[in-house]
Homo-oligomer: A and B are copies of this chain.
């Protein structure tokens, strides 16, 4: 019996404003969990050069960038209304035409938001050597996957940090922010984060080891708030939010400061983005703003894994995961990112009962 029911999370239509949970809906279709005619398929695929795998999805990563795929942007590929959305996740291989994968393999990489996926581009999958680790498998949908690698390359490769530098992180209690802050502390930086609730601020200061943290929603003047924590200015800004916070940070950057542009979550749901007025400080203070995406740094992954696993095992890096179960609640979990509902990394555990 290889035909099974397959729950899927579908994009209803392109979204132009703040998303509603109903902009995504859950439906079912039937799917085969095995390739039907192994021999014929092998011949067919060797001709067509498509070597697919069928996977059972286990954990899905909720990432702010996914909102960008829900609207049309010239020159960029997006989600297709009527089809399941995709993202990063952890999965188990059920059947494979590809020589690098076999049934039973655990993988992380790009997959669809559904219970089972036929993946025609398994080159985006990385095998998980899970027997060698003593951390939860779901971590590969976060700190041991895209989230951790983003934090690592964003901090080390983009920011060129030095011991003792002063670093500010926005959305610091989010998936990436929490890790960047801890990497910066391990390097000996002075680290301040902003977040949107008292609970998150407490987490940053008391559990994640940030030197300082503040609730940006309680500040009337972000410039003054930053001057309170950075009287001598900011060397590195890890930008997860863009908009007004970026504008205030620009006023407080030090000469030769560096800004890593990881995301601009405050802007994704605006029909018209906010104007940033203080860009002249980039020139006057010789500051760089470097937009980056982890997709340019997959080659760093083995090095990153060697770096991060010992810290995780020794408890020197803490990882906060916010997990919900079931595809039915996946839309609310994803859109909750934009309301600040998540604390730490938002993950969906796919239901398979």
Contacts and interface: CB of A to CB of B under 8 A. Distances in A.
Interface in A244-286: 246, 256, 261-264, 267-268, 272-286
A278 B282 CA distance: 16
Contact of A273 (B76, B280, B292): B280
Contact of A279 (B233, B273, B280): B273
A273 B284 contact: no
Contacts of A343: none
Contact of A289 (B233, B264, B289, B293): B289
A84 interface: no
A68 B284 contact: yes
Contacts of A267: 280
Contacts of A262: 283
Interface in A266-321: 267-268, 272-293, 296
Contact of A261 (B263, B274, B282): B282
A242 interface: yes
B286 A288 contact: no
A73 interface: yes
A280 to B, nearest CB: 5
B289 A263 contact: no
A263 B284 CA distance: 8
Interface of A: 68, 73, 75-76, 233, 242, 246, 256, 261-264, 267-268, 272-293, 296
